[in-house]
Copies of this chain bind each other. A is one copy, B any other.
Amino acid sequence: MDKTTVKVTRSILKGAPEPTLRRLPLYYRLLKQLRETTGRTGISCTVIGSELKLDATQVRKDIEMTGTVGRPKVGYEINELISAIERFLGWDKITEAFLVGAGNLGEALMGYPGFTDCGLSIVAAFDVDPNKCHRVIHGKHVRHISKLTGLMRRMRVQFGIITVPGEHAQQAADLLVEGGAMAIWNFAPVKIHVPENVIVTNEDLYCSLAVLSQKMTRRLAETRSKGAVKS
C-alpha cells in the first residue's frame, strides 16, 4: 500500500478538513467550465491556483484527498479529476431530498437547476399553509406537512432541507428526523437540535454577511482616519 493510498484511506476514515471540502467545489466548477469552453484535457495545480487565487500547494494537497494522481510537468487529467471530486463528495449519485417550507426561499431552491450538478434532487416540498399545498412549483408537488413523515419513510428519502421561519425550524427538523433523515441542510437562522447520528449543516447568510460587513466597516474606518490625517 503506497503513501497516496494511505492518505486517501485516511481521508475516507477521518474525512477531509472542512476548508478542503469547501474548496473542492471551486475546482470542480472551474474544471467543468474549462472542459466545456476550451478543449484542454489536462491541468496543473499552478493554473488552478492562479485562476482561483489560491496557493498551488494547497490545491495539490486538496486534490490529493480525492485520490487523483498527477504527472510531473503535465498535471492532472481534467476528466479524471472531475470524476474523482464527484465521487469523493458523493455527487456522482442522485440524492433525493424533501424540502420543508415552500415560501420565498424554498421556491427559489425548488426552481434551481444547478443542484443537478451535485446529484441533489428535490422531489417534493411540504408546508403548513393550505394555500401553499397541492400546488406544483417548478414541477414539484407541495404537500401538507402532515404527510411528510409517512412519505419520507415510504420513499426512503434521507435528506431534508429546512426553509421555514426560524421559530418552526426545530419542529421541521423533528419531523425530518422522525421520517428517517440522515442529513439536514438548514437555512433557518437558528440552531436545531437533532440526534447524534443526523448530520446538520447550516446555511447561515448572516455568517458570510458578517465577514463582509466587518471588512467594510474596517475599510471605512481606515479611509476616515487617513482622510483626517491628510486634511
Q: Which residues of A contact B (CB under 8 A)?
A: 12, 15-16, 18, 21-26, 28-30, 51-53, 88-91, 95, 104-105, 107-108, 111-112, 114-115, 117-120, 158-159, 182-183, 185, 189-191, 197, 199, 201-221
Contact = CB atoms under 8 A, between A and B. Distances in A.
Nearest to A52: B191
A118 B206 contact: yes
A119 to B, nearest CB: 8
B25 A204 contact: yes
A89 B210 CA distance: 6
A19 to B, nearest CB: 10
Contact of A219 (B115, B199, B202, B219): B199
State how many copies of this chain the complex holds. 2
Contacts of A114: 189, 206
Most chain B CB neighbours (cut-off 10 Å) among A118, A190, A207, A214:
A214
Given A25-B207, A111-B104, A118-B206, A199 B212 contact: yes
Given A185-B212, A199-B215, 18 more contacts: A18-B211, A25-B204, A25-B207, A25-B210, A26-B191, A53-B191, A88-B217, A90-B214, A115-B209, A118-B213, A120-B213, A158-B216, A182-B216, A182-B219, A183-B212, A197-B219, A201-B211, A201-B212
Contacts of A88: 214, 217
A221 B90 CA distance: 10
Given A104-B111, A189-B114, A211 B90 contact: no
A210 B86 CA distance: 10
A114 B163 CA distance: 14
A91 to B, nearest CB: 6
Contact of A22 (B107, B158, B207): B207
